[in-house]
Amino acid sequence: MQYFEDIPVGQMHAFGCYEVTREEVLEFARRYDPQPFHLDDAAAAATHFGRLSASGWHTCAMTMAMLVESMKERAQAGLGSPGVDELRWLKPVYPGDTLRAESEVIEKRRSASRREMGIFKSRITVFNQDDAPVMTMISNGLVRVREPEAAL
């Protein structure tokens, strides 16, 4: 189990392998982001995307799925997340793409108000099968402290 004290700034981690399917792109778009370029080939072809593309929010959801699967393999005393500081969609994600991700811990601190938890920031980059970055985000994670009564 990895606690706050075990997470060094600079720690790198590569994870995930997510195959983006046409069916999933359409299903997500119908439900959550029903813009024409996520739903219709002809409409998408007339945009800068050039063809049907996944919603950026779908890319976030696929990234979360890869992250959770990775956490099953690398147990962490995680306590959730208060959100992201930055999110950028760099390139479209298309059906047929295969995504993977890399994270780097860029900062961490103990919570001043909740002694049992620490907060760390990670820069997450998502790549397609051509190793082109398609999304970046700065994620905030909450993690249990091994010894909450230890001095801050």
Average pLDDT over residues 126-142: 97
Residue 138 lies in a domain: yes
pLDDT of residue 136: 98
Q: What is the pTM of this model?
A: 0.93
* Amino acid 41: pLDDT: 96
Q: What's the pLDDT band for 151 if we cut at 50, 70, 90? A: low
Query: What CA–CA distance (Å, rounded) separates 97 from 19?
Result: 6
For residue 152, tell me if it sits in a domain.
Answer: no
Give residue 112's domain range. 4-144
Instruction: Output the average pLDDT for the chain.
Output: 94
Q: Please name which of 28, 87, 17 lies closest in space to residue 53, comparing C-alpha atoms.
A: 28
Q: For residue range 31-54, what is the model confidence (pLDDT) as tens digits?
A: 999 999 999 999 999 999 999 999
Q: Is 69 within a domain?
A: yes
Enter the tokens of residue 107.
């900062």
Q: Which two tokens mark 89?
A: 């969609």
Question: Mind giving me the DSSP string for 44-99?
Answer: HHTSTT-S----HHHHHHHHHHHHHHHHHHS-B-B----EEEEEEE-S---TT-EE
Q: What is the pLDDT of residues 52-76, one digit of tens each?
A: 999 999 999 999 999 999 988 877 7
Total domains in the fold of the chain: 1
- The mean pLDDT of 75-92, rounded to a whole number, is 93
Domain with residue 103: its CATH number is: 3.10.129.10
Residue 152 has pLDDT above 80, yes or no: no
